[in-house]
């Protein structure tokens, strides 16, 4: 037994060489595998965060636009002659004591009939309510429902003092089986410079689910995220992108004290491990929660780690058999891979290893090069996505504003003049409402192509937001800028956009401004071009307006003659 121990134990030279070879080989390989796994996990985490941030940004923008439309509807309703005149008539009748037996005044019944007809035209309005100045219900489009069901928020007067609008917290309606919210505004009495009452709309928030799903489905994600809306007052979900979720029962374990827009792990309402981030909707005291299943996000990382472990074990077995022959050949590739891995870890992705062997280290080198290549391609793709508008393929607002800042700095240093065009598509909302958003997107894409074809190579064109575009013309004075603006306006008015056998024609209003020593920042120039654009729209649209730096002298080009 003692002899066997000497032959096959640790004192055996063969075993000591094998042990030492395995140690000096496996340690760097394991370190490399850990580094690669850590890099991949970091990359997946960063990609997931950018994806969820992108989705939450889209949802924030679309929700803001949706509620601006609701506020605009409310503003239009509050200006209705039927409502204001009949309501004041009811006040006069009540003050004169002409109403008998507690009957509802004819004027109020007319208001209720009108509110009912208006409500029927909007599927996401469940009730339109007229209240007096104290918040007591006077008339409603759903007059058969108990009036005490509709309670204005306790702080509605404080909200009205801020911006003439108020909104309630989200509540769940048993009748509609959906979350609801009241928004309202003042009913002004122009004769007395005061308000007579309030007009409120009960909005069915179930329609917001379409916005959530649109933001999720608008991109080809490998795994579909989930979006949800929470009310920060009680930290309860009231709406999710998944119809199977019961909003008023859903609870999550997310930490609301965690910083916004930072990934965190938590258990969702089904007890599943989830990774997500919160984004605030400050105007309504909401939070947007965008999340993904943790296992789906990190599935590739786990698979890669297992694959790396398998390769390491196989490599260790081979090294144990051929250690004394391959020692010198192993050291150099390992040093190259480790050095390259450190460069990648430090952010240098311009790394390429020459594959000198056709063994496991050669395979590891090839895998490493492929991984670094994919990281480099992903970085370039992310940079492209971060600076390009996906619909028009023009520069997005961030990129075009960065170019504007660089032009302003050149002007500040070298007095190199330049001009900008602020362009807005006339009546674009009517195009969307009449022909649909797909046609509207087709028109915006066509406008982007027209802009690219009608500017110089040194010019920059970007989508400023919605249907607004910003064109920067380096080394251009007023005359050149106005010619460019007129040429673009003529091209747009002459193009016929075809969609589903229908022809759509649009025009554009363009505000033109040239940099001036009076401009303290690029924002002053943008503001002047914006004012010129506003003047163009105010004076009939389909025009190019130039605003001098003194902001008082206007010069106007004639409307496009193309019919």
467 in active site: yes
Contact 413, 469 (CB under 8 A): no
Which alpha helices (DSSP H) does 79-177 contain, by range?
81-96, 106-119, 156-163
In the Cβ-directed half-sphere of 333, how many Cα atoms lie within 13 Å?
21
Which alpha helices (DSSP H) does 355-503 contain, by range?
360-387, 397-414, 428-435, 437-453, 478-494
CB within 8 Å of 562: residues ≥ 6 apart: 490, 493, 494
Residue 459: how many other CB atoms lie within 10 Å = 20
Q: Which of 467, 475, 538, 556 is catalytic?
A: 467
Residue 379's Cα: distance from chain center in Å? 20
Contact 267, 283 (CB under 8 A): no
Strand partners for 105: none
What are residue 205's phi and psi, to 5 degrees?
A: -80, 0
CA distances from 114 to 82, 130, 139, 147 (A): 7, 11, 10, 18
d(CA 118, CA 125): 9
d(CA 23, CA 168): 67
d(CA 441, CA 42): 36
d(CA 241, CA 464): 29
Contact 130, 115 (CB under 8 A): yes
Residue 205: how many other CB atoms lie within 10 Å = 21
CA distances from 161 to 158, 169, 492 (A): 5, 18, 43
Q: Which of 105, 29, 21, 66 is nearest to 363 (CA)?
A: 29
Stretch (H or E) spanning 26: helix 13-78
Residue 72's Cα: distance from chain center in Å? 22
Residues designated as active site: 467
């Amino acid at each position: 037994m003692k002899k066997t121990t000497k032959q096959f134990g640790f004192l055996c030279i063969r075993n000591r060489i094998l042990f030492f070879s395995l140690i000096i080989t496996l340690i760097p390989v394991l370190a490399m595998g850990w580094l690669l796994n850590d890099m991949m996990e970091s990359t997946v985490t960063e990609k997931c965060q950018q994806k969820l941030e992108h989705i939450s940004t889209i949802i924030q923008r679309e929700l803001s636009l949706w509620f601006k439309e609701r506020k605009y509807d409310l503003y239009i309703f509050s200006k209705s002659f039927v409502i204001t005149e009949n309501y004041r008539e009811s006040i006069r009748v009540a003050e004169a004591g002409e109403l008998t037996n507690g009957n509802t005044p004819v004027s109020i019944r007319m208001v209720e009939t009108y509110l009912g007809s208006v409500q029927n035209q909007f599927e996401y309005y469940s009730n339109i309510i007229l209240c007096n100045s104290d918040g007591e219900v006077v008339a409603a489009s759903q007059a058969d429902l108990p009036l005490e069901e509709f309670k204005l928020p306790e702080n509605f007067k404080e909200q009205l003092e801020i911006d003439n609008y108020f909104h309630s917290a989200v509540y769940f309606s048993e009748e509609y089986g959906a979350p609801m919210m009241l928004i309202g505004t003042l009913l002004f009495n122009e004769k007395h410079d005061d308000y007579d009452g309030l007009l409120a709309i009960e909005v069915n928030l179930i329609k917001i689910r379409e916005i959530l799903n649109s933001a999720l489905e608008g991109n080809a994600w490998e795994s579909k995220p989930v979006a949800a809306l929470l009310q920060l007052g009680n930290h309860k979900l009231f709406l999710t992108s998944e119809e199977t979720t019961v909003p008023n029962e859903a609870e999550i374990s997310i930490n609301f004290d965690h910083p916004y827009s930072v990934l965190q792990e938590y258990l969702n309402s089904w007890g599943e491990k989830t990774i997500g981030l919160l984004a605030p909707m400050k105007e309504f005291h909401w939070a947007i929660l965008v999340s993904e299943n943790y296992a789906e996000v990190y599935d590739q990382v786990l698979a890669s780690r297992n694959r790396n472990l398998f390769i390491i074990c196989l490599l260790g077995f081979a090294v144990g058999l051929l250690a004394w022959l391959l020692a010198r050949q192993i050291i150099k590739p390992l040093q190259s891979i480790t050095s390259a891995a450190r460069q990648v870890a430090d952010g240098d992705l311009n790394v390429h290893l020459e594959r000198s062997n056709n063994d496991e280290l050669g395979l590891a080198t090839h895998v490493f090069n492929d991984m670094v290549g994919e990281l480099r391609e992903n970085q370039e793709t992310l940079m492209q996505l971060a600076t390009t508008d996906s619909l028009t393929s023009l520069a997005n607002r961030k990129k075009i504003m960065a170019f504007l800042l660089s032009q302003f700095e050149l002007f500040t240093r070298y007095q190199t003049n330049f001009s900008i065009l602020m362009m807005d598509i006339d009546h674009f909302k009517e195009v969307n409402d009449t022909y649909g958003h797909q046609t509207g997107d087709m028109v915006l894409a066509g406008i982007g192509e027209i802009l690219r074809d009608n500017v110089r190579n040194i010019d920059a064109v970007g989508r400023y937001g919605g249907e607004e575009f910003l064109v920067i013309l380096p080394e251009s004075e007023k005359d050149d800028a106005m010619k460019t603006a007129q040429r673009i306006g003529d091209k747009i008015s002459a193009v016929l956009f075809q969609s589903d056998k229908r022809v759509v024609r649009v025009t554009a209003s363009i505000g033109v401004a040239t940099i001036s020593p009076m401009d303290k920042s690029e924002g002053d120039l943008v503001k002047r071009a914006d004012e010129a654009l506003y003047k163009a729209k105010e004076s009939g649209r389909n025009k190019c307006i130039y605003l001098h730096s003194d902001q008082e002298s206007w010069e106007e080009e004639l409307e496009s003659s193309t019919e």
